[in-house]
Amino acid sequence: MEEQQPKTGKFALNYGLLLGVIGVVFGVMLYTQKMHYETSTAVIVISIVLLAAIIFVGVNAFKKANGGYLSISEALKIGVGIALVGAIISLLYQFVLTNYIEPDFMDKAMEIAKPKAMAQNPNMTEEQWEQGVEMQKSFAWIQYPVLLIMNSVLGLVLGLVTGLILKKSKADY
């Protein structure tokens, strides 16, 4: 009797949900500390490390469930799946935060960015600044597909690296 091979989608969904929950908890932590306006290097690095760790754990769990065998294509599927599911959940939280919890999020973020932008470009007038802010507000929706694509590419790269590290092929005979 042939044993059931585990499905990559199940692992991608489960670990993607875990990544999404961790991402929301991280986002809430930033919100409570009033750090959710900043896009600091530390926040980005922590997010990437979390993504890499969850992908590694998810791919490794799949390998164990698959009798110790793993192909690179399976690792890629799991890596991208985890990254996508996690990104969708995090983006849903971001949407709720910026539209319902704190509807003036964009205004506050622009006020925080204004002194730095004015210092970098001293010739900018107040009217030019306001036009730029209005343009950014009208294109704010573009962040959602861009972040999904970026997370997918990151998941692809991390899945490839993890697959190369953990790869073990079944014998041909």
The residue ranges of every structural domain in the chain are 8-103+142-166
CB 15 within 8 A of CB 78: yes
* Surface-to-core class of residue 61, CB atoms within 10 Å of its CB (0-12 exposed, 13-18 middle, 19+ buried): middle
- pLDDT by residue (tens digit) across 3-12? 678 999 999 9
Share of the chain above pLDDT 90, in %: 65
pLDDT at res. 7: 93
**Average pLDDT score over the chain:** 90
pLDDT at res. 105: 85
Q: Which helix (H) or strand (E) is 160 found in, with range? A: helix 143-166
Residue 166 vs residue 139, higher pLDDT: 166
- pLDDT by residue (tens digit) across 33-85? 988 887 789 999 999 999 999 999 999 999 999 999 999 999 999 999 999 99
Residue 140 vs residue 157, higher pLDDT: 157
